Amino acid sequence: MSKHEDEKMDKRVIAKAVHKHEEGMHPGKPKTKLAKGGKTNLQMKQLGRNLAKVANQKVSSFTYKKSGRGR
């Protein structure tokens, strides 16, 4: 099994465990959509590169507002 396949399987297992917890502990609430990747350009513009890394790891700790500027 390649590293890529192993990571893909890990993500599925984690998502399944999180959703199972949510169904049991938080019935009737929508399932959490898990983050797809790393820091975004918007986060880096708003927070700076290093804080964007932290914000990506701890989503609830930092918030940023989307600005009307950009593309």
Q: pLDDT tens, 25-55?
A: 999 998 887 767 777 888 888 888 888 888 7
The domain in which residue 9 lies consists of 1-32
Domain count, the chain: 2
Any domain includes 69: no
Nearest to 34 by CA among 18, 48, 10, 22: 18
Residue 24: pLDDT over 90: yes
3-state secondary structure of 61: coil
Q: How many CB atoms lie within 10 A of CB 55?
A: 21
Any domain includes 58: yes
Any domain includes 56: yes
Question: What is the pTM for the complete model shown?
Answer: 0.47
Would you report the helix, strand and coil content of the chain in percent, each value rounded to 5?
A: 55, 0, 45
Decide: 48 and 26 in contact? Cβ < 8 Å: no
Both tokens of residue 23? Answer: 């169904």
